[in-house]
Structure 1
Amino acid sequence: MAVHWFPGHMHKALLEIKQSLSQVDVLIEVLDARIPYSSENPEIAKLRGDKPCLKILNKSDLADPEMTEKWQTHLEKDAGVKTFTNSTDNPAKTKQIIDMIRATCAQKDASIRSINAMIIGIPNVGKSTLINILAQRTIAKTGNEPAVTKNQQRINLGSGIVLLDTPGVLWPKLENPNTGYRLAASGAVKDTAMEYDDVGFFTADFLIKAYPDLMKDRFKLDSLPDTELAFLELAAAKRGALMAGGRVNLHKICEVLINELRSGKLGRITLESPEMLIQEKIEMAELAAKKIADKQKRKQKFKDGSLTPDKKDRKEVREQKRAEQSQRMKKKR
């Protein structure tokens, strides 16, 4: 799915992150535990280099716990990366992040007074709520919609830690089309920048395959159909998402499905696995290679022109004559 939502302040924020990163001792990236890959900004990965990074799997109370463990193992294969599962309804656990920051920077010269940490994350991942818990006061503005924070701010957390807060930043181009669907389903993209029906169909297709028992229980179904459309039609009938004449209101039932996913009413669900992403990366690489090959073919076709056999013969004759003329000129010299 193409996501057309990259406000100007996000471009500015990304530039500011690039400028400030050299002064940072540790990077804290807040991820959505339901979509650890899709909520990981690839632009930041390019900039980080070997700088220590603490990845917070936030909203872990909404995610599949078994899948969260898999993601922690997968993410920590990257040198310098540590992970931490967090739920913002457990302030005591959230405060353990302070100890993890200190442990990550344990080798820093003791003569330097403070640890400079930068916290980043995509919109609506729960970053601002997490900051307020760490600071033990309301500093960062929170809201149940993306892109509330607009500017960088420095926050003294005490204990010798200074936190640089940054606005939630997406990236201009989503290479993996499924990433767009997952971001939209989780609420990282404003609803005005997505099509509920499109996202709803993608989400329904995944859920009936990955979490069939949860879907049957939540929508009180005896069995699940094989297709997302049939599932949505049954779910709409159960929830009364119908229009005049008993026709299914697909927009309404898609809206219900997405909102219940976001709130956790469907159960603890993770929308992607490390295995899925490995396969999707292979498919993306194959698609990219095909695009390059197709582009080269178009260039060659344009260069050769649309030649009929007769025109091709005449072209070859002209080229032969030019070659012969060139040889004669060389001999005269």
Structure 2
Amino acid sequence: MQVCKKITLLVFITHALYAQLSISYMRFYANDKDFISDIRLLATHRFDRSHLQVFYDENKTPLIKEWIDEKGGVLKREYLEYKGKNLVRRYYLNNSQSPDSVRYFGKDEPWSQEFRKVLNHQNKSYYDRQETLFVLNQSNQFDIMRFINVQGNPYGEIEFIYNHLGLLVGEVWRLLPKKIIVRKYAYSTDILTGKKEIREFNQNAEQISYMVLSQPPAESLYKTIPPRTGNNLDEISILLEDIRQKDLKIPFDVFIPKTDHDLLVLTNGDSLMVEIVDMRSQQIIFSIAGEEGKLTMPKFRVRAIVSKYGEPIYP
């Protein structure tokens, strides 16, 4: 949901900047009805009264609508997005400039496409210019999606259910206007293990699918040994080793400093060329360059370790 929130906000900001660059003039209306009828309000008559102000581009296409209160404050703002000459989206912001809802026009909207799969194939409604209304809650998460056919009649909705932590725990798909439940999803998340369970139920409340998603252990995500210290900067050695072993061609000049072994510096000033095997809480396991076998050194006897690529590994 956080991803959805960020994407929505990004769309708002991008479209707002584009609209501001395209605005040519503005007009005032007493209300939405007058806007539709193009009954304009004189600029001098807008003071000390609520009204609607609309911003247009040079082609007389409305880009932004703002609902203004008696004191001149913005109650709500609407951005209109077009594809060619066709209106495809409306974005709504509340008086705190937070996203409130979005309207998407057209039957190719993915959520509506999925919802129509559960409809009766004998349904005679039309969807070419249908609307999908996305309503957000106070936490900027999806609260409900409503699907409206070209005749202006809502034919379905999806309600999203969250727990007290703001985590999504369910979806309910309903046919409108009879509010018949045709599909339900139940989600559960184990915060400690990161495991997610998804259950799908049909209109008879029968479970028809079950899926478990779990995050693999970190070591399985690396083709080579993972960073030894937990420091993200150490990942450069993995990348450089891949470049060296696979003889990858880099499309620019680059100098990669490298020695054959890691350098271990002791507290008495002595230094050893080694191959670091493991870094533990109290000791370091390594092998001497050119020799077999593994050795153990307590950390209090080690001043520093530098990798063969010049990276500080310890401390």
Q: TM-score, normalised by structure 2?
A: 0.24
| Richer in strand (by share) | 2
| Richer in helix (by share) | 1
Higher relative contact order (CA 8 A, sep 6+): 1
Larger Rg: 2
